[in-house]
Amino acid sequence: MNRLVLMVALLTAVSVAQSNDHSPRTLEECKAVAVSWRTATESYRVARDFSFEMLHSRDKQLFSCQTEYPDAAERPTWEKISSDLHSVMESRYREFLEHHKLWNQFLAEDEEQANKRLAEDKETR
C-alpha cells in the first residue's frame, strides 16, 4: 500500500510541475479554494463523487498555494485538504487496477523492479 501512495504522490508531483493556468494567483484566492473544498473533503462520500480530473485540478491549485505562500497561516489546512484529495485519488487508482485485474500484475512488476533497484544499489556501493 505504501508503494501505491508513493506512485500517487509521484504522479501528482509530475503533473503539478506542468503549467496550470487555473492556479490561484493571490492569497485570497487560495483561501477561497480551501474554503470551497474543506467541506467536500471532510466527507469522503462527497469527495468521491467528484471526477478524478476535478480532484486532481484542485490538488494542483492547493500545491500552487503551498508553493506561492509557504508561510501562510492556512498552509496546514491546504496540506490537510491535499492529503484528503490524495486519499480519494489513491482509492480510485486502486479500484481501477483491481477492476481491470491489473493489481496483481502491478504488484509483480513492482516487486521485480524493486529487486532490480536493490541489486543496482548493492553494485554501486
79 falls within a domain: yes
Number of domains in the chain: 1
Report CA-CA distances (Å) from 42 to 17, 37, 47, 52, 114.
26, 8, 8, 17, 35
Calpha distance 110→5 (Å, rounded): 13
Does the pLDDT at position 13 exceed 60?
no
Residue 19 clears pLDDT 50, i.e. is over it: no
Please provide residue 50's backbone torsions phi and psi, each rounded to the nearest 5 degrees: -80, 150
Task: Write out pLDDT tens, residues 54-71.
Answer: 999 999 999 999 999 999
Cell for 14?
509530475
Tell whether 90 is covered by a domain.
Answer: yes
> 114 lies in a domain?
no
Task: Measure the CA–CA gap between 41 and 68, rounded to whole angstroms.
Answer: 22
Q: Domain residues for 27?
A: 22-100
122's grid cell: 548493492
| Domain contains 5 | no
In a domain, 78, yes or no: yes
66 located within any domain: yes
Q: Is 40 within a domain? A: yes
Share of the chain above pLDDT 70, in %: 79
For residues 72 and 39, the model is more confident at 72
Residue 96 lies in a domain: yes
Mean confidence (pLDDT) of the chain: 82
Residues 81 and 34 sit within 8 Å (Cβ to Cβ)? yes
Distance, CA of 117 to chain centre: 24
20 pLDDT more than 60: no
